[in-house]
Amino acid sequence: MINCIAVDDEPLSLQIISGYASQIQGMVLLKTFTNPLKAQNYLKKFPVDLLLLDIQMPDVS
């Protein structure tokens, strides 16, 4: 099982990613974040196998 999270400041993008992720056998999208700093805190507690990231975010790029 591949555990992943997605980080993007656009909620629509996260909806699209969630839809695609649900179609991939063996992949579990554990959580989505619009705030990269909250995602960073999550990763400190819950490591994942795959990160789906927006490369231009308001707080961090």
- Position 33 scores a pLDDT of 96
Categorize the per-residue pLDDT at 43 as very low, low, confident or very high, splitting at 50, 70 and 90: very high
Burial-class residue 28 by CB neighbours within 10 Å (0-12, 13-18, 19+).
middle
| pLDDT score of 35 | 92
6 vs 33: CA distance, rounded Å: 6
57 phi and psi angles, rounded to 5 deg: -120, 155
Domains and CATH numbers, the chain: 2-53 (3.40.50.2300)
Mean pLDDT of 50-55: 94
